[in-house]
């Protein structure tokens, strides 16, 4: 019997889990698939704004990975990948284990970079963020104390270089909804500050008339904003911009820039200077063609320059689609059958929630120029996002078919 093709997937979130599932569907018993994740659970991160408002218990957003992966004959390794040797084709982990691969899928996400805004690291104790369960629950408790104070100023911001600004929009709008429901909105000022040149830029030079749509929404909600803003420092009670403008803040939540994962940055030639992996159109590393990258790990250049640096986001929808296409391409290489597909010319669907209504955004392709754009707003899209959260958690648990409601 021929030896099984060995595939290692690093990362246990949208990209890693979906790549592993798709590879099993495509390759059956031809492949031995191992997924390495530093976290024991898949967590539905898009619902963290609701966690921060106290509307969700983080435990309800988690799926332990060991059982679902085992049922699909995917080896699950709860460990942190610490080193990759592209010549020996091995991945080493923190516990000292080593895994050989014929193909490697990097779905490693990112590390947070607080270095360009002095004082912004949440470790300093007065800035919140929203990319892990611990960060979301810390933000929830800090926000609860702030709201109990009886009034004050909230600053929600997107730092220079950030590529995942969507949660900041959702948190600002959802906080407005939360306060209006309590009939206390008049007691709080909500200031939104972003490195983007205009609202709704989203790192891709806008999507259709999203800028006008978002400005109308912010005006209706009495959300003040400063665009093209380079935050340089923050301290208790005050943030400072590069032009000297000072913004008062009793509560601050910021979205940082990203680095590629440390395990990528440590491999000579795998990542760019910030640790993201340059790939060809099929999502193969331009340096090591048997290494694929999906999601945040992939280096994508902004479509247009901006005065203040802004990164290109990789949404959950995009990440899952990349994972599917990377798996298709690996299967084509392994079997010698089927066509390789483009992993970068992607459509995207996103639902930006405000707690009462939501905005539905569909763009094909994601980067301009585009063939089609659909923008809608309404209460039904809020409930669509609620339904999608519940469906997606079951999808991870039971390997259900993909349904692109968007997130």
Can you give the CATH number for the domain in which 88 is found?
A: 3.50.50.100
Q: Catalytic one among 27, 35, 91, 164?
A: 164
CA distances for 184 relative to 89, 177, 237, 379, angstroms: 58, 10, 21, 22
Mean of pLDDT over the chain: 96
Q: What domain range includes position 326?
A: 5-111+258-344
Q: Among 287, 320, 344, where does a domain finish?
A: 344
Q: Do both 177 and 146 map to the same domain?
A: yes
- Terminal C-alpha separation, the chain: 44
Tokens found for residue 224: 């003040």
Q: Give the pLDDT confidence of 218-249 residue by residue, as tens digits.
A: 999 999 999 999 999 999 999 999 999 999 99
Q: Do both 117 and 252 map to the same domain?
A: yes
Instruction: Give the pLDDT of residue 1.
Output: 58
Q: Do both 100 and 123 map to the same domain?
A: no
Q: Among 294, 325, 344, where does a domain finish?
A: 344
Q: Do both 251 and 125 map to the same domain?
A: yes
- Does residue 324 contact residue 335 with C-beta atoms inside 8 Å? no
Give percent of the chain with pLDDT exceeding 70.
99
Active-site residue flag, 350? yes
Q: Do both 180 and 149 map to the same domain?
A: yes
Can you give the CATH number for the domain in which 219 is found?
A: 3.50.50.60
Asked whether residue 354 is domain-assigned, the answer is no
Asked whether residue 349 is domain-assigned, the answer is no
Q: Among 301, 322, 344, where does a domain finish?
A: 344
Q: Do both 151 and 101 map to the same domain?
A: no
Active-site residue flag, 164? yes
Reported pTM: 0.96
User: For the chain, what is the domain count?
Assistant: 2
Q: Is residue 15's pLDDT more than 60?
A: yes
Q: Give the pLDDT confidence of 34-70 residue by residue, as tens digits.
A: 999 999 999 999 999 999 999 999 999 999 999 999 9
- Does residue 258 contact residue 248 with C-beta atoms inside 8 Å? no
Instruction: Give the pLDDT of residue 402.
Output: 72
Q: Catalytic one among 77, 204, 350, 359?
A: 350
Asked whether residue 18 is domain-assigned, the answer is yes
Q: Do both 329 and 251 map to the same domain?
A: no
């Amino acid at each position: 019997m021929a030896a099984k093709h060995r595939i290692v997937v690093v990362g246990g979130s949208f990209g890693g889990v979906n790549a592993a599932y798709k590879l099993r569907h495509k390759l059956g018993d031809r492949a031995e698939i191992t997924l390495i994740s530093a976290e024991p659970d898949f967590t539905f991160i898009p619902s963290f704004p609701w966690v921060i408002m106290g509307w969700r218990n983080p435990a309800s957003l988690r799926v332990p990975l060991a059982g679902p992966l085992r049922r699909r004959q995917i080896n699950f390794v709860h460990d942190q990948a610490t080193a990759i040797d592209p010549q020996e084709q091995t991945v080493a982990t923190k516990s000292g284990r080593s895994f050989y691969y014929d193909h490697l899928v990097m779905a490693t996400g990112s590390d947070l970079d607080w270095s360009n805004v002095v004082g912004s690291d949440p470790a300093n104790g007065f800035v919140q963020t929203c990319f892990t369960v611990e960060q979301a629950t810390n933000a929830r408790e800090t926000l609860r104390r702030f709201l109990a104070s009886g009034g004050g100023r909230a600053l929600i911001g997107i730092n220079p270089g950030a590529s995942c600004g969507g949660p900041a929009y959702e948190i600002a709008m959802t906080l407005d909804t939360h306060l209006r429901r309590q009939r206390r909105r008049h007691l709080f000022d909500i200031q939104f500050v972003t490195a983007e040149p205009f609202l709704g830029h989203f790192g891709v030079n806008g999507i259709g008339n999203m800028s006008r749509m978002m400005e109308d929404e912010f005006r209706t909600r009495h959300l003040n904003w400063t665009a093209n803003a380079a935050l340089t420092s923050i301290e208790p009670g005050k943030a400072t911009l590069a032009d000297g403008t000072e913004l008062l803040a009793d509560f601050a939540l910021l979205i940082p820039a990203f680095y590629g994962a440390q395990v990528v940055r440590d491999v000579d030639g795998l990542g760019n200077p910030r640790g993201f992996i340059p790939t060809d159109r099929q999502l193969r590393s331009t340096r090591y063609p048997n290494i694929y990258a999906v999601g945040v790990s992939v280096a994508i250049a902004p479509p247009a320059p901006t005065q203040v640096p802004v990164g290109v986001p990789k949404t959950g929808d995009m990440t899952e689609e990349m994972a599917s296409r990377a798996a298709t391409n690996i299967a084509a290489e392994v079997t010698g059958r089927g066509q390789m597909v483009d992993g970068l010319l992607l459509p995207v669907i996103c639902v930006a929630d405000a707690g009462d209504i939501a905005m539905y955004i569909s763009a094909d392709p994601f980067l301009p120029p585009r063939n089609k754009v659909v923008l809608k707003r309404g209460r039904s899209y809020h409930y669509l996002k609620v339904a999608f959260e519940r469906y997606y958690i079951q999808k991870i648990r039971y390997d259900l078919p993909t349904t692109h409601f968007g997130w």
